[in-house]
Structure 1
Amino acid sequence: MADQPKIADQQTQQSSPAKLILAIFLTPIFVIGLILFLVWLGLHPHFPSFHIQNFSVPGLDQLNGFRSANITFNVTVRNPNRSTWIYYESIDGSVHYKDQKVGVVMPLLYSFNQPPKNTTILQQVFGGTVTMPSANNHRWMEIMNDRTEGTVKFSLQLASIIQFKKSIWDRRHHRMHADCDVEVGPDGLIVPSSVHDGCPVNLR
C-alpha cells in the first residue's frame, strides 16, 4: 500500500512534460486563430442599415374611404463599413397594408455608390401609384378598426441588388430586402415610437 503514492507521483511527473509540450504546441495555434478571427470581423462587410425617420398617410381620417393618397416617407440608409463601398443597382420601394400592396415606386433611387461611413437619405412621395382600399372593401374596414384602436401598421419594403466593393471577402451581387414596419396614428402621421426604428435587412 505504501508504494501506491510513489507510483502516482511517477505518473504525474511523466504526464507533466506531455502537458507542457501540448500547451506549447496549441498556444500559437489559438493565438493565430484569434488574430485571424479579429481580422475577419474587421474586414468582413456589414449589411447596410435602414432607419425610418418619417412616414405619413394623409387622408386616413376620412371615414368614408378614398381611392388614392400621397404617402410620404423619409428613410436613412447607412453604410457602416470602414473601408468598403456599397454599390446599389437601384432601390425600389413599395408600401403594404397586411397582404395588400397599396403603393409602389420603381425605382426610388437609381444606381449609386455609397462611401464607407456614409448616410444616404431616401425621401419620396408615393403619388399616383398609391391605391388605398375603398370604403366597401374589407381591408378598409380593417384599417378603420385599427385606427379606432389607436394605430395602423404599414410596411415599407425596399429592395435592391447590391455589391460590396473593395472587399477581399465578398464581391458577389446580392439581392437585398429591407422590411420597415411603421405605425401611424388616427391622423395618418407616424407615431413617435416608430421614428428611428431600424429595418431588418436580408441578403441573398
Structure 2
Amino acid sequence: MPPYRLPLYHRQSPVVRCVNFLCAVLLTLVLIAGIILFVLWLSLRPHRPRFYLADFSIPNANRQSGLANLPVRFAVDEHNPNQKIGIYYEEIVASVYYGDQLVAKGPVMQPFYQAPKGDTPLLGQLTATGPAPTDPAWGRFSGELSAGNVAMRLLLTSTVQFQVKMWDTKHHHMKVECDFRMNGDGTLQQQDKNSQCALYF
C-alpha cells in the first residue's frame, strides 16, 4: 500500500493574484457606492404632505328651506414634513358632499409654494347649492341634522410638484379626503376637529 501523501500546494501566479485583487477592489467600490446612493435616496425621497381638518361650518344649516345659498366655511391645516424639499401646489379646488349629493364646490386656494417643514392654513368659503327640500336626499339630511349627527365629506384636489434641491419632480395629481360629522347647528363635531385627512396621489 503506497504511503499517504499530502497534496502539493500550488502557488498562484501573479496574474491570478492581480485579477483577484482587482475584483476585490471593484466589489468594495460597488458596495460603497451602493451605500452612498441609498443614503442619498433616503435623504432626498419626498414625503407626502399632511392635512388636518381644523374646522367646518354651515351657519343656519337647520333652517327648513334647505342649504341653497348658505355659506360653507372650513379650515384645513397643511404640513410639509420634508426637511429639504419644498412643494409647489397648483390651484386647490374644494368639494363638499353629503353622501353622493354635491353640497358646494369651487376654488379655495391660488397656486403657492410650501417651504420645507412649513405649515399653511387652507381657508375656504363656498356657497351651498343643496340639498333643497325638493331633493330626494333632503328628508334623510334633515332627519340626521335634527339628530345632530350628519356624515359629510370634504374633498380637496390639486396638482403638486416636489422641489428637490435644484430640480423638480414630475407632477402628481393629489386628492385629499376629509370625512367628518356635523352637529345639528351646522358646526363640526368636537371629536373630528384636527383629525387627519386621507391623501391619495
TM-score category (smaller protein) = 0.7 to 0.9
Larger Rg: 2
Q: Which residue of 1 aligns with 2:105?
A: 104
User: 1:66/1:150 Cα in 2 relative to 1: closer, same or farther (>3 Å)?
Assistant: closer
The residue correspondences of 1:187-202 to structure 2 (distance < 5 A) are: 187-202=185-200
Give the Cα separation in 2 of the matches to 1:103 and 1:179.
15
Offset at residue 131 of structure 1 (A): 0.8
* TM-score (ref. length: structure 1): 0.76
Residue deviations 1:82-106 (CA, integer Å, cap 9, x gap): 0001001111111111111111112
1:106-127 Cα deviation digits (max 9, x unpaired): 2x11111110010001112113
Q: Distance in 2 between matches of 1:152 and 1:30?
A: 58
Inter-partner Cα distance in structure 1 for 2:105 and 2:66 = 20
The count of residues paired between Structure 1 and Structure 2 equals 175
- Please report how far the alpha carbon of residue 150 of structure 1 lies from its aligned counterpart in structure 2 after TM superposition: 3.1
What TM-score comes out, normalization by structure 2 length?
0.77
Report how far residue 144 of structure 1 moved: 1.8
Q: CA deviation at 1:31?
A: 9.3
Asked if the contact 2:94/2:156 (under 8 Å) is kept, the reply is: yes
CA contact (8 A) 1:45 1:167 kept: no
Aligned to 1:51: 52
Segment drifting more, 118-127 vs 79-88:
118-127
Where does residue 87 of structure 2 map in the other structure? 86
Is the CA contact (8 Å cut-off) linking 2:44 and 2:164 kept in structure 1?
A: no
3-state DSSP of counterpart to 1:138? coil
For 1:98 and 1:167, how far apart are their aligned partners in 2? 42
Cα-to-partner distance string for 1:154-190 (whole Å, 9 max, x where unaligned):
1111011110012589711000000111211111110
Amino acid at match of 1:115: A
Amino acid at match of 1:111: P
Aligned to 1:16: none
What residue ranges of structure 1 are gaps of 5+ in the alignment?
Answer: 1-27
Q: Residues 49 and 150 from structure 1, CA distance in 2 versus in 1: closer, same or farther, beyond 3 angstroms? A: same
Residue 161, structure 1, aligned to residue 172, structure 2? no
CA distance in 2 between counterparts of 1:40 and 1:63 reads: 57
The residue number in structure 2 matching 1:143 is: 141
- What letter corresponds to residue 70 of structure 2 in structure 1? A
Q: CA RMSD in A?
A: 2.5
8 Å contact from structure 1 (residues 47, 79) kept in 2: yes
